[in-house]
Structures are given as structure tokens and as C-alpha cells.
Amino acid sequence: MTKQELIDNIKSKKSFLCVGLDTDISKIPEHLLDDEDPIFSFNKAIIEATSDLCVAYKPNIAFYESYGVKGWESLRKTCEVLPKDCFSIADAKRGDIGNTSKMYAQAFFNPASSGLNFDSITIAPYMGEDSVTPFLEFEGKWAIVLALTSNHGSLDFQNFQNKEGKQLFEEVIDKLNTWGSSENIMYVVGATRGEAFTTIRKHAPNHFLLVPGVGAQGGSLADVCQYGMNKDCGLLVNSTRGIIYASKGKDFAEKAREEAVKLQKEMQEQLEIHGVI
């Protein structure tokens, strides 16, 4: 999916919602546990209930890898049923030396090799250029690089300042901008960072930002939009628990849709306020 196609989809659906598929078998409705593949059954129902309300889906790969071969098969089948008009994100947070990164890229971007064909993958950039650029060699694919996250441990490194007062996350963005562009790189910025989005936009005015942490983690959608939205929206705001675990009953998909509708309406209002639509 190209950047313009993503922008067009946001304007068409009046939404910049990304639904996280961090599917924990211990949290899905009990009636699904008798299915041949409960995780896939759950994901498929969530996707069918929300696909007209969101523009992206983001399976967290750890929730599939932890079940071994069965989990990988659930992921493959989930990838196959993701709508073509929705941006797909493999939330894998990979980051290794060049030859290993090439294999990771092949695993998530080459369906002939692995059965997976995601549009993008999340990447930890700590090992530098050769941990990121192999992913950019795949035409039409995206690297979504960790920049400024919401977890408590992020304070250990990401806000470190050099003698000139430049923070590490700023250096990461500036360096990444020399390896790719806003057409193939996005940045992860936690929703609870608030006004830090202003700093982010100084370094990445035209890039899309993947924003986890709205809802259950306490991030404010209004704040994210106030400080982080650009003329094209430039945001993919992720919600996971608040949508997919809205109910543990047989109405789980219906309740998931209700929560997605609430967020879509809020997003439409923000898009209108900021003149995107």
C-alpha cells in the first residue's frame, strides 16, 4: 500500500483507526475454544465486524509465536483474510544485523517463502543501518521504527541528551530520514507522550506515526491529534484491548464493533477539526 492510498482510505472511511490483534487464547470467549483454530476464529470475527471502521490491523507476533507451529498457522490464515484496503502491520519489533534482517524481511514480506505478506513491520533500530535497510529493499513495503514509546523503561534510553541537548529519539529519526523517506518509513510514538509529538513533527513533519496507547493505556486521542496530526492526518492510532476484548460472550464481535464505532466517530471529529476532511 502506498502512502497516498493510505491517505485516501483515511479520508474515505473518516478514520485512522488501527485495530491490534494481540490475541490471547486465555482471554477469548470460551465458546470458541472448541473450534479447530480458536485464535483464527476470533480474529476473523473481529476483522469482519470492524473492517469498514478501521484502516489498519496490527497482529502482535509474540501472541502467535508463543504457540509454535499452530500459532504461526493462525497468523498466516489471519494475514490471508485481512482486507486488501486495510494496511497490515506485523508488530514484530525485529532488529538485527543485515543478513538476519534480510531473513526477517523475507519471513514477513515474501508469501512464496513464508505464506505471510504484510505491508509493514515494526523495527527496533538500536543496531543501526543494517538492522533497518534490508526491510526497505522490498518495494512497496514499510519499516515502522520505534522512536518514542510509552512504556516506563523507555526513559532508560530514549530521552538521553547529548551535549547539545539533542535527545536520542530525535537522533534516531534524523538518521532514519537519511535511509528512507515518508513513503516507506513510519515511526512509533506512544500516545501518552502528549506534547512530545510537537518535537517529533519537527523532525518528521510528513511521516506517518503509529500511535499505541490510546484508551486502555491512558493516552488522549485529542492530545495526539492536537500535537501530532498533519495536513494528511499522518496518524495510525492503535486500539487493542478496548476493542477486541470488549466482551467475552457470544456477542464479542458485536461489542467490538460498538467500541470501534465510538473511536471512529471521535476520529472523524478530529479529522474535521484539523481540516483533513
Taking the CA atoms of residue 178, residue 184, residue 188 and residue 194 in that order, the dihedral angle to the nearest 10 degrees is 80
Q: Quickly tell me which residue has 478501521 as its cell.
A: 54
Q: Compute and round to an integer the Cα radius of gyration of the chain.
A: 18
* Catalytic positions, written as ranges: 93
Q: Which residues of 59-89 are buried (b: 16+ CB within 10 A; e: fewer)?
A: bbbebbeeeeeebbbbbbbbbeebeeebbbb
Handedness of CA 96, 135, 193, 257 (dihedral sign): negative
78: enclosing H helix or E strand: helix 68-81
